[in-house]
Structure 1
Amino acid sequence: MTAVQTPRADAPAEASAASKLIDRGKRVVSSNPSVLPTLAAIVIFVAMVIYGEVAYGRIVQYNTLSNLLINNAHLIILAVAMTFVILTGGIDLSVGSVIAISSVAGVMLANAGWNPWVVILLMVLIGAAFGLASGILIQYFNVQPFIATLAMMFLGRGLASLLSTQPERLADDSPILWLGEQFKVIDGEKVNDVVVTPGVIIAVLVVLIAFFVLHRTRTGRTVYAIGGSENSAALMGLTVPRTKVLVYVISGTLSGVAAVVYTSRLGIAQNITGIGWELDAIAATVIGGTLLTGGYGYVLGSVVGALVLGLMNVLITRDGGIPPEMTTIITGGILLVFVLLQRAVTSKRRT
């Protein structure tokens, strides 16, 4: 008597569940194509993690991921700042110079005996002042964002050089250094620990607050509306002038916060600090899925973009045979791919 083999009952169910998941993903992308670049950034980050683990090892472990966050906390903050600006269809080229002037001024004031908390506040206020100046030039004097923030970039860099052309170092007992001190959260095997710094906690808080503002407040909806169509936003009665100035104030303020986080980690400030960081922030924001034309983008996507750039530096360092100059070339290639992807998304959205 021949035995009859019955098919597994759970196989069709598993196939059906996978099919439903794929169909749901397709519906999400088709109904909202703007999420495609962000999903692509997440896929690239996961692929880089897998490649790094296979090729070099010791990537998927506590200390590597902790260092990735610690070393890129300032870039995450800058990416969040740039997200606000780019969502309105603008640009901010001054963030790197703001970090230079804020950090140099802050270290000099701290070494002169000023209260450290007052120094930190002044570093943030310096950034806010630069952002306010950019916003007023753009909104009330009709200066193009590129030109206005370029002027602020030269002004910030010049003032930093005027203050000091030599590296300024915080005193070893400066309380500001506490923001860069590492605290063990999970005690792993040997040196494989989960560690954080107050700077990382600040970056996480910045991301959470920015997410809430953009997605849960009237100000956030106005930011998206301005990027979609500034004229339409004005006709709807939205506070366009105030919001446009506000996004540059936010960008400058967060640049000051990034200066505090970066300076506390290294304990040193220079007039050349932050050169090219505005481009890194723009790259992280674009890689994270924020459209350069404005109106579409996500804070969490910008965070992923910043981590992609940070992990790329880790992998290049681990390889040892790749010249450091390749970082810029690879970043340019990734950015080009995402710009082309954004063009495709924009065309599909119009269709």
Structure 2
Amino acid sequence: MTSTQTVLTGELRAVTRPHRFMARHASWIPVFAAVGILVAMVVGAQLYFGKFLTPRLVSSILLDNSYLLILAVGMTFVILTGGIDLSVGAVMSFTGMMGASLLRQGLPSSVVAPTMLATGALIGLGVGVLVQYFDVQPFIASLAGMFLARGLGFVVSLNSIKVTDRPILWLQGTRLQAGSGWYITPTGIIALLVVLVGAGLLAYTRFGRTVYAVGGNEQSARLMGLPVARTKLLAYVVSGTCAGLAGVIFTAYTGAAYPLNGIGTELDTIAAVVIGGTLLTGGSGFVVGSMIGVFVYGMIKTIINFLGVDQSWTRITIGALLLLFVVVQRLIVARSARRR
């Protein structure tokens, strides 16, 4: 081989290496895009406002969106199976109402908090049973779960219930300092632990691998002998459990429970998960991506607040980003189909 041929071969490998990397890691492309958008927003806001990216602001984004981050983890499992869960906002509200009512009656938080999680898991199981064994579309089944949870919240009380339980309020009121201006609350720690556990389940367990297989091609997963029914049920149970935990966190965050809390939260959760790179058709996505999506959502709200404009622009911006990422997802799916 001549020196010219060697140089050309080296250049060809240098060109094709990024293409091979992108082909092998196509599912990470939307996540990288979300990271790019987050970085662009931070840099743009820093240049526009001057002092924007401060330790206090970064800490507050996690503090204000801990409940949404937990909901996004549970929603990721459901969407990865090719489903959807519209009940999470109502379940969060209902478990918060139930928990606040039980606390007012004198039950200790060590009993109330697990009860809230178990209630969320039970509602999630009910939605999963409708989807798996009664062949109800996930949209309709979770919509029924949403109406059920919302109605039960009004049954508990039509009015706001103030929470005075110290352990619950401690979750949000305690700020653990982590340097000059940096802090984290127990609610933020819980949210990050949920992300860590969710990512571990998907990456390193048989259940996680089966979730991806079911979302990729349910019929093929059945032919391979994978426990499809159990996996789909568990995905909805995970989502319901996360909604119950979000009820605990949101109750600590607001210091009260109200039956109208969480209206529209399910849509914010879905938007964050999709922006984070999880395909709505299932089979591709990451919990870490959903976390990035939540941070994008939180950053948008923060920038809108800094600008002092109407909060409706938050919805407009999220809608535009959601449309962009759905288009990106369709391009990725179409490219993968052509490669096959």
Task: Identify whether the pair has TM-score above 0.5, normalized to the shorter chain.
Answer: yes
- The answer on 1:214 being equivalent to 2:205 is no
Max Rg structure? 1
Unaligned runs of 5+ in 2: 1-9
Deviation per residue, 1:246-273 (Å, 9 max, x gap) = 0000000001111111111221111011
Kindly indicate whether residue 129 of structure 2 is the aligned counterpart of residue 150 of structure 1.
no
Q: Is 1:103 matched up with 2:90?
A: no
- Is the CA contact (8 Å cut-off) linking 1:75 and 1:281 kept in structure 2? yes
CA–CA distance in structure 2, aligned partners of residues 207 and 334 of structure 1: 23
2:127 to 108, 127, 134: 134
Q: Say whether the 8 Å CA contact 1:56–1:319 is kept in structure 2.
A: no
Question: Is 127-136 or 25-34 further displaced after alignment?
Answer: 25-34
Query: Contact 2:27–2:284 at 8 Å: present in 1 too?
Result: yes
1:29 aligns with 2:17: no
Report the Cα distance in structure 1 between the residues aligned to 2:233 and 2:157, rounded to whole angstroms.
30
CA distance in 2, matches of 1:341, 1:291: 10
CA contact (8 A) 2:178 2:184 kept: no
Whole-Å Cα distance in 1 between the matches of residues 42 and 175 of structure 2?
Answer: 25
More helix by share: 2
Tell me if 1:288 matches 2:281: no
- Provide, for residues 66-110 of structure 1, a one-character-per-residue CA deviation record: whole Å limited to 9, x for no partner: 001010111111111110000000000000000110001101111
Aligned counterparts of 2:256 and 2:17: Cα–Cα separation in 1: 50
1:180 matches 2:172: yes
1:32 CA displacement: 2.8
Task: Identify which of 43, 47, 54 aligns with 2:47.
Answer: 54
State the 1:23 CA deviation.
Answer: 6.7
What is the match of residue 234 of structure 1? 222
Does the CA contact (< 8 Å) of 2:66 and 2:249 recur in 1? yes
Corresponding residue pairs, total: 327
Counterpart residue number, 2:110: 117
Distance in 1, Cα, partners of 2:51 & 2:112: 39
Amino acid at match of 2:328: L
The root-mean-square deviation of aligned C-alpha atoms, in Å, is 1.5
Q: Which runs of 5+ in 1 are unaligned?
A: 1-15
Bigger shift: 256-265 or 242-251?
A: 256-265
Once the two structures are superposed, what CA deviation does each residue of 1:266-296 show, in whole Å capped at 9, x if it has no partner? Answer: 2111101110011011000100000000000
The equivalent of 1:160 in structure 2 is: 153
Contact preservation (8 Å) 2:73, 2:198: yes
Distance (Å, rounded) in 2 between the aligned partners of 1:93 and 1:137: 14
CA distance in 2, matches of 1:74, 1:298: 18
Matched, 1:344 2:337: no
Q: Secondary structure of the residue that 1:58 maps to in structure 2?
A: coil
Quick check: 1:329 aligned with 2:316? yes
In the superposition, the TM-score normalised over structure 2's length comes to 0.93
CA shift for structure 1 position 54: 1.0
Q: In 1, Cα distance between the equivalents of 2:52 and 2:78?
A: 33
**Deviation at 1:141?**
1.0
1:196 equivalent in structure 2: 184
